Amino acid sequence: MALRARALYDFNSENPGEISVKENEIVTLYCEQDIEGWLEGVNSRGERGLFPASYVEILKNTAPSYNNNISAGDGYQASKYANISGSGYDTSYNTQPIDENLSKTSAPSFTSYPVPVQHPPSYQPSQASDDDWDDEWDDSSTVADEPGVIGGSFPDYEGNGPSTYRMSTSSMPRGGTAQQAKSSATVSRNLNRFSTFVKSGGEAFVLGEASGFVKDGDKICVVMGQYGPEWQENPYPFVCSIDDPTKQTKFKGMKSYVAYKLTPTHTQSNVSRRYKHFDWLYTRLVEKFPVISVPHIPEKQATGRFEEDFISKRRKGLIWWMNHMTSHPVLARCDVFQHFLTCSSTDEKAWKQGKRKAEKDEMVGANFFLTISTPAVPLDLQDVESKIDGFKAFTKKMDDSVVQVNTTFNEFARKQIAGFKKEYQKVGLSFKILGQAFELDQQQFSVGLNHAIAYTAEAYDTVGEYFAEQPRQDLDPVMDLLALYQGHLANYPDIIHVQKGALTKVKESQKHVDEGKMEGASADGICERCNIISFATLAEIHHFHQIRVRDFKAQMQHFLREQIGFFQKITTKLEEALQKRRSR
Amino acid sequence: MALRARALYDFNSENPGEISVKENEIVTLYCEQDIEGWLEGVNSRGERGLFPASYVEILKNTAPSYNNNISAGDGYQASKYANISGSGYDTSYNTQPIDENLSKTSAPSFTSYPVPVQHPPSYQPSQASDDDWDDEWDDSSTVADEPGVIGGSFPDYEGNGPSTYRMSTSSMPRGGTAQQAKSSATVSRNLNRFSTFVKSGGEAFVLGEASGFVKDGDKICVVMGQYGPEWQENPYPFVCSIDDPTKQTKFKGMKSYVAYKLTPTHTQSNVSRRYKHFDWLYTRLVEKFPVISVPHIPEKQATGRFEEDFISKRRKGLIWWMNHMTSHPVLARCDVFQHFLTCSSTDEKAWKQGKRKAEKDEMVGANFFLTISTPAVPLDLQDVESKIDGFKAFTKKMDDSVVQVNTTFNEFARKQIAGFKKEYQKVGLSFKILGQAFELDQQQFSVGLNHAIAYTAEAYDTVGEYFAEQPRQDLDPVMDLLALYQGHLANYPDIIHVQKGALTKVKESQKHVDEGKMEGASADGICERCNIISFATLAEIHHFHQIRVRDFKAQMQHFLREQIGFFQKITTKLEEALQKRRSR
């Protein structure tokens, strides 16, 4: 008897090699074992191909299974689902209402004019449709890396970020390293185990529970600069280009992916990386650095992944991301990023070694704070609090304005591509029609005018095209920048939350000392550790302002130059038309 | 007992000094004699002022009277209605359905963006609402000059013009001189007494019924030019400026009008003329010249006549009109036009003398053709027919394209004034909001960017204003030109009709000669006279092409120059913003 499965949801094939199935449709399977979340089979119309394993339930006297129990059977793939890293999500995340998840992933994308329709419209889009998840790795990875984990992309556990924040659906939330340490401190613990302060390891660190061996190379310095605490500059600055996005295939051409060529200036040798490598790296970084705003990688996209526009757009997003990575004194130097940038694409062994090392890195979360060394003079906590509050207000206002600029630019781009183009081309067309009428008169004194009108008609048609092409040159780059900053702005509530949590602990401990419930030395320790978090937070805020001013200055100049060039191009075109007219 | 009247229609006052009345409302009159079509009285709400005499019937045991019998009573005004010129309309015109009249007068105006609403919405708008009819003249004038004559502005008796032709509501139709001559010819007469061929006097002339004494000064020459028959050039070319539209009042300020200063270059002394003088002149010219396309004067407008925009627009229309008048070799030289241009505004006697002379001119209509002298070699009639047919096709196609250009430009102007402006100002606003967010950060390295963004915001706001102001500079002048040409294009079907009518008579007469029903000499006479009409028609067509090429060349150049200047202005503004950014 053939192995069969029943479709739980509609799935519409989007790429070669996939087949569509309807809810309740019975499909015949070749094998019950999925290949990285995909099953191969024949649907009721006799079409053979792949479809997402999670979209069907296998009919063999088992209860309906939605998610990763599909892969619970035996086989060569089983190990990867079994080997769940300790740093994975608390399973209680799955109790989050699905609605919230949907509302986050379907937030409007500001970098493309039409809001991309998520496909398929279920709560597991990444598994079914983003081939970046077609993992050729068979070594262990975290649950968050795996398809089919609901809630794998919750951007904000407490819902305390502004709802306008756009989160990459692939965002690995901070807090993967929440330490369930046994408490021995006298300061009360936060009862909310999902609080960022707890999950980031901030609480554990402040309470003195973090411990680890800090190598010299891991030391991260905060120094006092002209404007306050700063990250010590990277003594070996470098940048990294991202070029040649190339479509590659596997599974006998049934599944495809895009690889990019990365060339860091400090090694000058290029490596090939896929989106999923970026995604893996991003996850590591978020896990490791609790008070650093890790730039978001470009969003996943379900459909049209191999269209030139999308590839070009994603590449631009990755370039921006890379720019922010290499600009950051701490992120640029960290081991996992260096591994990503420098490990040869062909040396699989070295790659896996570095990968495992990064995944087993102990200096993440709470322990990260151990690596920070600060100036000797402690900060004034009241001053810190006021600076943090000021920054909080800044991010809120900047986020609002970025949303507004995005909306306006989106609309403006749409108008230029459609309306403006149409209007100028209609002017061109009406001149053309007038010229055609005039051409019925072929007397010698009319010919010059007729030619000139025909040329003017063409000129306006061209001007219409100019308008349609322009947003790509000026509005799109600004929107790309804004998208990256929206990611940063979405990070800051958590970063601020960690610092504020530490500050609260200081106040509590001082109160306990006053009440005689705690020893002064313990309270001093808490205060010192809070001081470290504060230094790091202020350094990060300073870095943010610096790159913000740098980026916006450059981008606004680019925007204006492009606009000037655009209007000059129109002027030139019309001057040609006028010359045409005069020369006759 | 007070003199009373009952309102026949609603009248809504539009200007100071007027009062509104409702249909069936009883008004008390101060005097039953109207002042140039207006009565003074008190309405049921106790308001005192003027209202149109034709809107009420006086209640004094007389039958309801609608029109000019209002003025049939005794009094100082009575004479002007009694003195009806013989060249006036056949009263049977009044049998034309009112609908047709309305449909003509409510044709969309292409020179203004909103279609002007005719006010009041009755079939007598000119009397009730256009103060240009507030005639201070008390000497005789033609019926067509008078208010209250229904059908006084029929543009096309046969309805044979394309329905897209826009006719000035003030158009004096050609054919006011229809001659009811007793026929003695053997060629059949056109049974349609409203045919343009008949009304223009073309038929009478071809049939040899026109007669009059042609003074040397009245001689109009057609010569053979490079491209065929041409009007002999005006040996004393001149132009005439129209300046200083000034609002003036009468009736103790209760009624107002606008006077223009006209300065012809050949006299260098200026005269003051009102719209109604132009209107009177136009009527004379249409009456006199059957195969010349008299440029239409700008349309009447019921409301907002004293608004600056309207006055400026009308002045521009009159300037175009004057340009076409002085450019025309025949029109520029004719007596009535010279009288209009040169007679002192203060010498009422001379003015009236010239006016009467013009109204009694015998060399109009059929007799006009007597004044034409042509080259000795007759035209090839088949060649003429083909040229005329070609021109007919040309006018049709040009008219269609002019309608299209007008529609497009109207829409384009509207878009720039509303949509484009809004889009650029929204960009400015979003920069402003972003700048305001950034200003929360006042660190030294941020200040330059903040200023630059604020300046860019202002620049885009200004660019929005540029877009809104621009159509007035480039689209409006083109539309003004098109409006004038729409008037010419509306004239040509009648002109062509006259020539074709003459040609038909030639064919008929030749047939009659073949059949022995007519003497060869009679047929030769018809052919000779048709030859004169053909020369005149071809000369007029040539003139049309010449001024068309001249006007469109100039206007297209103006349009392109304005557009170039406009885009350069934007470029300059954005360059300023970029400099601002760099200098910081």
pLDDT, position B583: 52
pLDDT score of B70? 34
Q: Which residues of A touch B420 (CB under 8 A)?
A: 420
A189 labelled binding-site residue: no
Task: Provide the pLDDT for residue A44.
Answer: 85
Q: Nearest-5° angle of CA A98, CA A100, CA A106?
A: 100
Q: Give the residue among B562, B550, B541, B551 at the shortest CA–CA distance from B482.
A: B551
Q: Which of A552, A562, A566, A580 to mutate to test the interface with B (most CBs of B within 10 A)?
A: A552
Min distance A581 CA to chain B CA atoms (Å): 7
ipTM of the complex in this document: 0.70
End-to-end alpha-carbon separation of chain A, Å?
Answer: 85
Point out the residue among A401, A437, A440 whose CB comes nearest to the CB of B437.
A401
pLDDT of residue B3: 84
Distance between CA atoms of residues B258 and A212, nearest Å: 94
pLDDT at B193: 57
* Exposed e or buried b per residue across B481-492, where buried means at least 16 C-beta atoms within 10 angstroms of its C-beta: bbbbbbbbbbbb
Searching chain B, which residue's CA lies closest to the CA of residue A387? B441
Q: Could you tell me which of A210, A216, A531, A528 has the C-alpha nearest to residue A367?
A: A210
| A62 against A383, higher pLDDT | A383
Residue A440 clears pLDDT 90, i.e. is over it: yes
Residue of B nearest to A570 (CA): B567
A178-231 pLDDT, tens per residue? 333 333 345 666 656 567 787 778 888 988 887 778 887 788 999 999 999 999
User: Is A45 assigned a ligand-binding role in the annotation?
Assistant: no
Dist CA A165 CA A101 (whole Å): 14
Confidence tier at B192 by pLDDT (50, 70, 90): low
The reply to whether residue B405 touches residue A430, judged by beta carbons under 8 angstroms, is yes
Closest alpha carbon within chain B to A398: B437
CB pairs under 8 A between A and B: 169
Q: What is the pTM of this model?
A: 0.70
Of the listed ranges A110-114, A223-227, A336-340, B271-275, the least confidently predicted one is A110-114
Distance CA(B519)–CA(B186), nearest Å, equals 9
Higher pLDDT, B464 or A101: B464
Mutate which of A401, A543, A548, A573 to test chain B, going by most B C-beta atoms within 10 A?
A401
- Helices B335-342, B348-359: axis angle to 10 degrees equals 160
Q: Is the dihedral of CA B273, B276, B281, B282 positive or negative?
A: positive
Which structural domains are found in chain A, ordered by start? 4-59 (2.30.30.40), 240-371 (3.30.1520.10), 381-582 (1.20.1270.60)
Output the pLDDT for position B189: 63
Find chain B residues with C-beta within 8 A of A437's C-beta: 394, 397-398, 400-401
Task: Give the closest-approach CA distance of B555 to chain A in angstroms.
Answer: 11
User: What is the tens place of the pLDDT at every residue in B544-582?
Assistant: 999 999 999 999 999 999 999 999 999 999 999 999 865
A577: chain B residues, CB-CB within 8 Å? 560
- % of chain A at pLDDT higher than 90: 51
Q: Looking at the partner chain, which of B390, B400, B545 has a beta carbon nearest the beta carbon of A446? A: B545
Does B419 sit within 8 Å of A408, measured CB to CB? no
**B552–A438 CB contact, under 8 Å:** yes
CB contact under 8 A, B426 and A436: no
Contact list in A for residue B546 (CB cut-off 8 A) is: 445
User: Is A414 assigned a ligand-binding role in the annotation?
Assistant: no
Q: Flag if A556 and B437 touch (Cβ within 8 Å).
A: no
Contacts of A225 in chain B (CB under 8 A): none
Is the pLDDT at B411 greater than 60? The verdict is: yes
Judge whether residue B343 has pLDDT over 60: yes
Rounded-to-integer distance, Cα B190 and Cα B187, Å:
10
pLDDT computed for residue B374 by the predictor? 93
| Mutate: best of B401, B402, B481, partner A, most A CBs <10 A | B401
Measured between alpha carbons, how far is A140 from A247 in angstroms, rounded to an integer? Answer: 26
Tell whether the model's pLDDT for residue A247 goes beyond 60.
Answer: yes
Q: What pLDDT does A581 receive?
A: 61
Chain B residue numbers touching A578 (CB-CB < 8 A):
557, 560-561, 564
Task: Tell the residue number behind the tokens 């090939």, with chain if given.
Answer: A272
* Strands (DSSP E) found in B91-233: 220-225, 228-231
Average pLDDT over residues B193-217: 79
Helices (H), A25-176: 78-82, 98-105, 125-129
**Cα separations (Å) of B251 from B74, B120, B245, B257, B412?**
21, 22, 20, 11, 43
CB pair distance less than 8 Å for B563 and A574 = yes
Q: Collect all residues of chain B within an 8 Å Cβ-Cβ radius of residue A408.
A: 426-427, 429-430
Q: Do A430 and B449 touch (CB under 8 A)?
A: no
Task: Report how far residue B284's alpha carbon sits from residue B292's, in angstroms, rounded to the nearest whole number.
Answer: 13
Q: In what order do the strands lie in the sheet with B271-274?
A: B240-250, B255-264, B271-274
Residue with tokens 């694409």: A345
Q: Looking at CA atoms only, how far is residue B431 from chain A in angstroms?
A: 7
Question: pLDDT, tens digit, for every residue of B296-305?
Answer: 999 887 666 6
Q: Say what the pLDDT of residue A546 is.
A: 96
